């Protein structure tokens, strides 16, 4: 995974629990990186170990940590690291979500060995958006948090329901997003 993800975990932990908690989490995760370079690649196992250690230190389930990370990352780390992309991706949560393939293509085009997710969409008659997420990582709870984070960024209340997750045996991960 790209360092910008691990950087976001660090920022979340330090903002909620302080720098000492971050050092404890890094130790528990066996992570010896002094810092994470946003565009560098790090093993997925490092990221997952940091999430697991955050769960242990905070006493929260892994899925809760993943959702909280996603909610935090969009309006904080993501917006700080990619301000121009955020400006171009849309003026609402719906527009931004529908532009996710282009956003990932722009972010990863100069990054060697990146494996961005792919998204397809279905608009339902009631205005609900089904997002189909295709990624070998299957980080459904993180995606759920990221979508909620977009709602926070744009000041829009969203209801996000996981319809299926590849990590739980479904062929694709699917989120149902209702815009309120």
Measured distance CA(121)–CA(130) in Å, rounded: 6
Measured distance CA(69)–CA(48) in Å, rounded: 12
Could you tell me the CA-to-CA distances from 134 to 6, 20, 96 in Å, in that order?
A: 21, 36, 18
Which pLDDT value is given to residue 67?
97
Q: Could you tell me the pLDDT band of residue 107, with boundaries at 50, 70 and 90?
A: low
Which pLDDT value is given to residue 111?
58
pTM for this structure?
A: 0.92
CB 176 within 8 A of CB 97: no
Could you tell me the CA-to-CA distances from 35 to 6, 90, 114 in Å, in that order?
A: 9, 31, 20
Domain boundaries 69-179, CATH class:
alpha beta
Could you tell me the CA-to-CA distances from 153 to 57, 75, 160, 170 in Å, in that order?
A: 28, 5, 15, 30
Going from N- to C-terminal start, the domains of the chain cover 3-60, 69-179
pLDDT per residue over 29-86, tens digit each? 999 999 999 888 899 999 999 999 999 999 999 999 999 999 999 999 999 998 888 8
Measured distance CA(104)–CA(2) in Å, rounded: 12
């Amino acid at each position: 995974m790209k360092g910008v993800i691990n950087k976001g975990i660090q920022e979340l932990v330090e903002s909620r629990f302080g720098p000492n908690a971050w050092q404890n989490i890094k130790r528990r995760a066996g992570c010896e990186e002094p810092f994470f370079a946003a565009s560098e690649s790090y093993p997925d196992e490092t990221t997952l170990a940091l999430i697991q250690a955050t769960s242990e230190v905070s006493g929260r389930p892994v899925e809760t940590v993943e959702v909280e990370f996603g909610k935090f990352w969009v309006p904080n780390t993501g917006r700080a690291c990619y301000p121009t992309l955020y400006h171009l991706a849309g003026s609402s949560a719906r527009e931004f979500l529908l532009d996710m393939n282009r956003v990932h293509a722009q972010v990863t085009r100069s990054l060697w060995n990146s494996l961005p997710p792919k998204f397809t969409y279905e608009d339902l008659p009631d205005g609900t958006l089904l997002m189909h997420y295709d990624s070998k990582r299957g980080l459904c709870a993180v995606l759920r948090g990221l979508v909620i984070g977009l709602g926070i960024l744009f000041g829009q209340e969203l209801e996000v329901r996981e319809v299926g997750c590849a990590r739980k045996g479904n062929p694709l991960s699917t989120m149902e997003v209702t815009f309120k």
